[in-house]
Chain A
């Protein structure tokens, strides 16, 4: 059995979880197993997960699970995994996945790989799976030797498959230990796709000269439906919020399209973005190192080029 943890946010399944369910289904087919999803806490519309490949959805409805504590989650997920006989347990490489997958690996005596970016291969019993390492500068293939395996899936690594049938839902009655971490408050930026999930990203650097010019970046992003990002010095000087900082010491992302505006392309910046599918660089310096990593380049003054690009995008959207 392949067990996938599906996370909800504001009553809806997260995109990264739908990717994980798709990934789990394909992994299960490879292993000749069934894939089932697990949902913790208050949630509705669970049968929907069947559309993405789950043959069954298990639900532990205890409201106390709405307060996330990795220790409690790990205990509950491991117990569910034992009850359903899971051999592979799959998380998203989300905030929740990052703090829980390792704990579940310990409890299940499982080998684990975090942030995998491709389907596993099974060759004569050897189970191998790939992930990005050295901040996107290379890929590593891991071999997992344990009976039970724990994986977490990097966002945007696999397209979500739809089209299946709704799946039956079964409640699991498990002991939920008391939480030791109390969530006092959650604040989420409203209405914007978070960077790790974003397919389109518009990012800007020190070439912007100051925070007062960011309206041209926001306008372009808005027209495209993209999420905004920035280079490290921009976040460090407080021109932009730190959660926009991408790169080796910021967030690593792999969107379909990354537009870098007034960013030189230092190796530490590239480390977080060079796995993007398509990279566009706008820079007035033809020697900027970023052009070497780009698919499309525009050599010009960003204060002219960006408004023109926004206009062209608007036209394209209108057609």
Chain B
């Protein structure tokens, strides 16, 4: 099977979030970056497992600047065969989706994997957009994926439950927790990754229709009001009368 995994770069999960340029831009100074956890832990690993079981290849793609090659190499170290970087700032979901679709069009992948969302902009948008641009079915939030010939049996999270679905390849799927178990790259993988192909391609031009123009931080919480553990009636009273939530 020919498999494509889309990986994005996100700030490390404990990163302090701040903005610059009059709150118009994310302040990346001092921020450590990681591969988006859903892409690394679930999408990539499930793709690798399918390749190991059924043969084929795993390509990873990232839309981003040269600095992203650290996370791309990590993907190769975990086991992907080759990588493609589209050399452009990923300014919007549609922009990223266009670049991925443009590359994937010529390649006939059986499955395109993504994460269910990137943990920075929390969009869950790139997946359905790529699917639409390629004219393929899309399944989001997959927690299980088995192949029987060219038919995939998929379990996916839905609001308050799960769905069992069937779809014929080719298709696009986004990965949620449960789809696979995280893999840690070993020394051999890291050494091999250095020699694996990483192609850099120019972006296709397109207009941004939706742009983030301003950021704000949540209002500071006031001091916590401590309640005597012996007096839970007081807590209930405050929740009813002061917070008005019950």
Contact = CB atoms under 8 A, between A and B. Distances in A.
Contact of A98 (B124, B165, B211, B240): B124
A141 B245 CA distance: 28
A132 B138 contact: no
A281 B238 CA distance: 14
A140 B215 contact: yes
B177 A250 contact: yes
B243 A257 contact: yes
B226 interface: yes
Given A95-B158, A102-B97, A144-B210, A281 B13 contact: no
Interface in A257-301: 257, 267-268, 271, 274-275, 277-278, 280-281, 291-301
A109 to B, nearest CB: 8
B97 A298 contact: no
A286 to B, nearest CB: 9
B132 A69 contact: no
A206 interface: no
A142 interface: yes
A115 B224 contact: no
B169 to A, nearest CB: 11
A295 B160 contact: no
A141 B212 contact: yes
A224 interface: yes
Nearest to B117: A98
A256 interface: yes
Interface string A120-138: 0000000010011111111
A112 B210 contact: yes
A64 interface: no
A304 B137 CA distance: 52
Nearest to A69: B137
A79 B117 CA distance: 27
Main secondary structure of the interface of B (DSSP, over half): mixed
Given A98-B128, A297-B226, A312-B232, A249 B121 contact: no
Interface string B123-157: 11111110111011111110100000000000011
B239 interface: yes
Interface string B198-242: 000000000111111111111001101111011011011011100
A309 B92 CA distance: 46
A30 interface: no
Interface in B37-80: 37-38
Contacts of A95: 140-141, 156-159
B210 A99 contact: no
Q: Which size bracket describes the interface of A in this complex?
A: 35 or more
Contacts of A271: 13
B94 A105 contact: yes
A186 B212 contact: no
B120 A71 contact: no
B31 to A, nearest CB: 11
A245 B227 contact: no
A62 interface: no
Contacts of A313: 236, 246
B150 to A, nearest CB: 12
Given A268-B13, A292-B221, A294-B221, A138 B159 contact: no
Nearest to A139: B216
Given A248-B119, A281-B224, A197 B132 contact: no
Q: Which size bracket describes the interface of B in this complex?
A: 35 or more
Contact of A297 (B122, B171, B225): B225
Main secondary structure of the interface of A (DSSP, over half): mixed
Interface string A220-232: 0000100000000
A311 B233 CA distance: 9
Interface string A229-240: 000000000000
Given A297-B224, A305-B229, A257 B159 contact: no
B109 interface: no
B214 A140 contact: yes
A312 B120 contact: no
Interface string B1-41: 00000000001011001010000000000000000011000
Contacts of A243: 157, 160-162
Given A95-B157, A180-B137, A249-B37, A107 B123 contact: no
B131 A194 contact: no
Nearest to A196: B159
B125 A101 contact: yes
B165 A184 contact: yes
Contacts of B13: 248-249, 267-268, 271
7 contacts: A70-B128, A95-B157, A99-B127, A102-B97, A112-B209, A114-B125, A243-B157
Interface of A: 14, 16, 69-71, 74, 94-96, 98-103, 105-107, 109-115, 128, 131-146, 180-189, 192-197, 199-200, 224, 242-243, 245, 248-250, 252, 256-257, 267-268, 271, 274-275, 277-278, 280-281, 291-301, 304-305, 308-309, 311-313, 315-316
Q: What 3 pairs across the A-B complex have the smallest Cβ distances?
A: A194-B160, A300-B229, A111-B209
